[in-house]
Amino acid sequence: MEMRTKYLSATKDGANGTEQGFGMVEFLIATVVLLIGLLGVLSLFGHTLLSLRFAEQNLIAKQKAREAIESIFTARNTAQVAFDQIRNVSNSGVFLDGLQSLKVPGADGLVGTSDDGAVETMVLAGNDGLLGTSDDKTLTLNEFQRQIAITTLNADLRQITVTLRYSPSRGFVRNYQVSSYISRFR
């Protein structure tokens, strides 16, 4: 008595036949999809690094623009300057026209006027993260320029627009702008 064994091979649908794997077309499609995903993640990573690199300059620009607006409101509220003086020099006011270096305020306490002092500096915490220690860094704000433009809307209302321009890298210029309205009334 002879015993015969029959071997069956299964295919995808379970019927008799040969088993098949991925073809070259499926492999290429999967590779392209994977590469597109990886390129997306890489570009996001690069954009994040670029944003982190310029975060310090962006923060300085925002703060200096807001500081200029606040100094104008303070000068009006304390009667340090008359409301009619809150104009650009070209309109018989005290604020210089055009882009100016970022300088410390002069005797009048206002930035962007003719009596401003030297170019402004900032002291930043060093590697230890604490201000007032020996590793602090002094940053001179040479790459920043500020323009204070004041537009008269009527006898009692003016628009103040402060623009800060800076170059975080060679050939690349950024502007940060803040606008506000100021009235004769406190």
pLDDT digits (tens, 9 = 90+) for 68-102: 999 999 999 999 999 999 999 999 999 999 999 99
Dihedral angle of Cα 75, 78, 83, 84, to the nearest 10 degrees: -80
In this prediction, residue 22 carries a pLDDT of 73
Q: How far apart are CA 145 and CA 139, in angstroms?
A: 15
Backbone torsions φ then ψ of 102, nearest 5 degrees: -80, 100
**Contact status, residue 150 vs residue 159, Cβ threshold 8 Å:** yes
Which of 89, 87, 92 minimizes the C-alpha distance to 76?
A: 87
Of 108 and 8, the structure prediction assigns the larger pLDDT to 108
The predicted model scores a pTM of 0.71
In this prediction, residue 113 carries a pLDDT of 92
